[in-house]
Structures are given as structure tokens and as C-alpha cells.
Amino acid sequence: MGLFDKFRRPTQGGPAAVRARLEGAMSKRRLRGWNPPLENINALVASGGPRLLARARELVVTNGYAANACEAFASNMVGDGIKPSSLIEDAGLRDRVQRLWLAWTDEADADGLTDFYGLQAMVAREMFVAGECFVRMRPRRAEDGLLVPLQMQLLQSEMLPFEKTETAANGNRIRCGIEFDLIGRRVAYHFRRSHPGDSTDQRVAIPQTVRVLAEDVLHIYRPIDAGQIRGLPHVAPAMVRLFLLDQYDDAELDRKKTAAMFAGFITKTAPEDPMMGESEADLDGAAIASLEPGTMQVLLPGEDVTFSSPADVGGGYEAFQYRTLLAVSASLGLPYHLVTGDVRQANYSSLRAELVEFRRRVQQLQHGVIAHQLCRPIWARWLETAHLAGRLDLPDPVAARMVQWIPPRWDWVDPLKDIQAQVLAMEAGITSRRKVVEATGYDVEEVDRENAADAARTKQLGLVYRTSPGETQGARATPAGRPDPGDGADGDNGEDAAASDPATNQE
């Protein structure tokens, strides 16, 4: 025995004592019924994916809160588009690339229904409803007349069968419709030829699925677990609450309707006697007596009137709704007012606090999913196709791929305070003007070109725009050389005052 062994405290119970301190692993009376299976997320998706997907789609169509949450999710995710800002050093080439891309975005949709940024919004909606979306890049012929012979085709999650799990003839593994090679790389997708729920497409196809190479398919989804191969609906954690709350609201509405339809019931000792004076019979022969405003009805002997008084919901109805919708909003990761449209209990501080946290989550999806999985590979394929089609002359095609994706600007709760803070941050050197401009969703070089064009035009017209520190009505336009009455007695003209005013310095 060592020198200090006798001072050591003996371990009480050994490993069992350690397990006892892990409360979540206890199997006592309170947790005896909590025995979830240790299943991988891919097994859960393969078994429950089709039903979960069907319920999610129905919920977003029939439930107002779910539909509103879906639109809020998509609009905050992509807005009017996550747009590229090329990092090519050659200014002339960069400008040609940006202009050709802008023109091509109108032709990007293979169905011709929207542009490239509209496709981004559709992908965001599919992520909310289905958890995933497939984008097939479709090369086109030169005679199709496109600026760049490339288009995008969106495929819903149902087009890739969850149940297709087998071994291919070439020895590769097919898991939930995705074919993997021997080292785990995606090599192909086995899509259905038609949507399984589209009864208008009656064509018969043998075989039922078609193999599409993975290099032509983009699988857009948010992986929440390591090794996950298919997406989960974003609305999944809130589906049960939304469904049951919708049923409860419908039942309450019917209860109110029923309570409003019945006035009272009349009990008579002699059924053959007339009822409350005059009456009429319905289609089934039952006598009906009507009540009119201001009526003082004298009942016959033996008649008694009992008015219906259904139980009211009580004062807890709104509080219950509020707490339930709070739980739904937390499950969706969306602010309460975006799900319900209710801002009665909101103020500047609360709105700003929840929007800051919500926008952090959205930025994760913007950069980690939409920009990385969707925009980046499309940009690379588009550059390659434009180069091969002779639309662009790229000396270094690899270097031309360098691009920065700019998400849509955020609307401020208090624009004045936020803009003042950004100006102070630029003056202190904490941030750059490029980052401030890009935070608004615009390309700094495009803004500079527009500012230069505006400055040249105002100089040509002999106008000078000045904004006084206390003005709230916008800039004033005064002809150059004419003194402004608000300039004071120094006699400086408007041009000199504008040049010396730091608020209008557009350096």
C-alpha cells in the first residue's frame, strides 16, 4: 500500500454510482416508460419519411399558421435573392461576367415560371415543408437560343423514393434512392419518372426510376446529424401542436356557431295544443316557434321555455392559445410575431432582441446551405458552360470561380440608430465600407458606379444636393452658385458648403 492510499476515500458503488448521477439515464419510476430505440436518423427517415412528408404538405396548405410560417421562413432566408459578387481582379472581365449572369438569371428556370432568385425562394419553401429539394442542372442545345445553354429543374422530395434501398448491379449501395460508391461518395440519384401523387400524369414508364449522375444533381438540405443522407422537414417539430391546435380551434368555432343557432326549447303537457300562439313546421314536421325583438310572449298552461346555455370557453382561451403558439414558434425557430402576426405585446427592445437571434440562425442556413449547396456549384457550372459556349473568355477558369454571395439586406427596426452606428464603426476603423454596403444586400462596386453616375449627372445639370443635420424631409436640390438662406452670413455658396459638410461627403 502506498503512502497516501490510506487517505484516499473509497469509491462508493463504482460505475453504478457514476450512472446514478446521470439523471437522464435513470430507470426509476418517473422514467420507466421512457425507452426510446437507439436508431440512426437515416433509419427514422426511411421508415417515417413518406408519411411525415405527406402530413407536412397538407399542414402548410390547410393551416394558416403553418402557411404564414413557411412564407416568413422563405422570405427571410432568400428574400429577393442571394446574389453573387465576383472577385475577379480584372475589372473589365468582372463587369462582363456580372452582366451576363444578370441576363441569364431570367432564363435559369427550366419550367420558365420564374428567375434564378425565384428558384431560390422555391428551394427555401421546400426546405421548410419537405426538408430537402433536388435541383437538376440541365444542359441545353445551342439552337435553344439561351444566353448560356444551361437551366435548372427543381424536383420535389417525393421524386426520390425513400424505399429504394438495395445493392446496384455494379456493386454500389443504394440508400433511400441515393447511390453511393464503395468509399461512400454519391455517384447517382434514382429519381422517379413522374410524381407519385400526380394523378394527371398517366404515362407508364418501365423501369419506374431513372439513374441521374450526381454531378448533375444538387441535393439541398440541412444536415442536423453526422452521416444524414436525407432531409427532415423544418416544420416537423411543430406539426403535432399545429394539427391539434387547428382541430381545437375548429371545435371551438363550431361550439360558438351551435350556441348561436339555438334560442330555446319548449316543453308542453299536451302536444296537440298550439305552441306559443302561432307556429310553423319544418320539413320533418317538428313545430317551430320564432322569437322577435321586443316580444312579450304569454305561455299557455303547461308550457315551459328552457333556453340553451352551452358552457363558455372561459377566460383562459386566449392565454392557452398564446402559450401554445409560443411553443409552436420556438419549435419552428421563428419569432412569435412572424408566425402569428401578433405584435400587441412587442416593443422595440423585444423585437430587436428576437430578430437578432433569429437572423443569426438564418445566416447559418444562408451561408451553410443555400450559398454552399445551391449557389456555389451553379456558379461554377455556369462559368464553365459560358466559357465553352464562347460567351466568356476566361484566362483562368479556376480563379474566375472566386465569388462572394451577398444575402438580402435586413430591414432595421430603427433605421436611424443602426445607420448612425455603422457610420461610427466605419469612422473608427472597426469595419469597412464594403462590409457595410454588402450588409444591405448590394454590391459595393455597383453602388460606387451608381454614385459616380449620379454625381456626373448632377454636375452636368448644375445641381448640388445638401442635407442639413436636422432635416427629415430628404435632400434639397439648389442650383450651383446660389447661396442658401440657411448657410449663415459667411456668403459661401451651396457647392462649397456641400463639400465641407462631412454628412454629404461620399468619399
Residue 177 lies in a domain: no
The pLDDT value given to residue 486: 44
Position 19 in a domain = no
What pLDDT does 255 receive? 79
Higher pLDDT, residue 305 or 343: 343
On whether residue 356 sits in a domain, the answer given is yes
Does the pLDDT of residue 359 top 70, yes or no?
yes
The stretch 410-431 carries a mean pLDDT of 84
Indicate whether 166 pLDDT > 90. yes
Local confidence band at 463 (pLDDT 50, 70, 90 cut-offs): confident
Note the pLDDT tens digit of each residue in 71-125: 999 999 999 899 998 999 998 999 999 999 999 999 999 999 999 999 999 999 9
How many C-beta neighbours within 10 Å does residue 365 have?
20
Residue 64 belongs to what domain range? 38-145+220-262+316-408
Asked if the structure places residue 279 within a domain, the reply is: no
How many whole angstroms from its chain centre is CA 389? 36
**For position 127, what pLDDT does the model report?**
96
Examine the pLDDT at 485 and tell me if it is beyond 50. no
Distance CA 212, CA 219 (A): 12
**pLDDT above 70 (res 473):** no
Per the structure block, which three cell numbers stand in for 274? 298550439
**pLDDT surpasses 80 at 313:** no
User: To 5 degrees, how large is the angle CA 452–CA 458–CA 462?
Assistant: 145
Q: Is the pLDDT of residue 297 over 80?
A: no
Q: Which residues contact 110 (CB under 8 A, 6 or more apart)?
A: 138, 151, 152, 153
- More confident: 449 or 378: 378
The larger pLDDT score, comparing residue 141 to residue 504, is at 141
Residue 470: CB partners within 8 Å, gap ≥ 6?
none
pLDDT score at 163: 92
With a cut of 60, say whether residue 499 has pLDDT above it: no
d(CA 371, CA 429): 28
Question: Is the model more confident about 8 or about 403?
Answer: 403
Question: Is the Cβ–Cβ distance between 5 and 193 less than 8 Å?
Answer: no
Mean pLDDT value of segment 262-288: 57
Which pLDDT value is given to residue 62?
93
Complete DSSP assignment for 358-423: HHHHHHHHIIIIIIIIIIHHHHHHHHHHHHHTTS---S-TTGGG-EEEEPPPPPPSSHHHHHHHHH
Residue 190 belongs to what H/E stretch?
A: strand 186-192
Among 50-64, 179-193, 221-235, 421-435, the range scoring the smallest mean pLDDT is: 421-435
Q: Which residue has the cell 446574389?
A: 83
Q: Given this model, what pLDDT does residue 266 score?
A: 63
The mean pLDDT of 479-507, rounded to a whole number, is: 43
CA–CA gap between residue 83 and residue 443 (Å, rounded): 9
Total domains in the chain come to: 1
* Residue with more model confidence, 403 or 300: 403
Per-residue pLDDT, averaged over 336-353, amounts to: 85
- Smallest CA-to-CA distance from 235 within 70, 40, 41 is with 70
Lowest mean pLDDT segment, chosen from 164-173, 200-209, 263-272, 300-309: 263-272
Structural domain includes residue 242: yes
Give me 393's grid cell. 473568355
Q: 20 pLDDT exceeds 70?
A: no
- State yes or no: pLDDT of 412 exceeds 80: no
Q: What is the largest CA-CA distance in the chain?
A: 109
273 has a pLDDT exceeding 60? no
**Once rounded to an integer, what is the mean pLDDT over residues 305-310?**
68
Collapsing DSSP to helix, strand or coil, 506 comes out as: coil
Considering only 286-290, 394-398, 455-459, which range has the smallest mean pLDDT? Answer: 286-290
- Which residue in the block uniquely carries the three cell numbers 457610420? 423
Average pLDDT over the chain reads: 82
**pLDDT value at residue 507:** 38
Is the residue at 326 inside a domain?
yes
* Structure confidence at residue 286 (pLDDT): 55
What is the average pLDDT across 30-36? 82
Q: CB-hemisphere CA count at 13 Å for 432?
A: 4
pLDDT average, residue stretch 338-364: 87
Reply yes or no on whether the pLDDT at 245 is more than 50.
Answer: yes
Helix extents (H) in 415-490: 415-427, 433-439, 444-461
Q: Cell numbers 300562439 correspond to what residue?
A: 277
Domain-embedded: residue 457: no
Which grid coordinates are listed for 379? Answer: 456558379
Cell 420507466, residue? 32
Look up residue 214 and give its three cell numbers: 450526381
- Taking the alpha carbons at both ends of the chain, their separation in whole angstroms is 80
The neighbour count for residue 177, using CB atoms within 10 Å, is 23
Kindly tell me if the per-residue pLDDT of 7 is higher than 60: no
Cell numbers given for 32: 420507466
Interatomic CA distance for residues 23 and 192, integer angstroms: 47
Cα-Cα-Cα-Cα dihedral of 407, 377, 121, 71, to 10°? Answer: -80
pLDDT band (50, 70, 90) for residue 471: very low
Residue 288 class from Cβ within 10 Å (0-12 exposed, 13-18 middle, 19+ buried)?
Answer: exposed
Identify the residue whose cell numbers are 473608427: 428
pLDDT digits (tens, 9 = 90+) for 191-242: 998 888 888 877 665 568 999 999 999 999 999 999 999 999 999 999 999 9
Do the beta carbons of residue 296 and residue 286 sit within 8 Å? no
14, part of any domain: no
Q: Is the pLDDT of residue 281 over 60?
A: no
Mean pLDDT within 345-360: 84
* Bridge partners, 281 (sequence order): 287
Cis-peptide into 233, omega within 30 deg = no
Distant-in-sequence, close-in-space partners of 358: CB < 8 Å, separation ≥ 6: 76, 333, 334, 335, 338
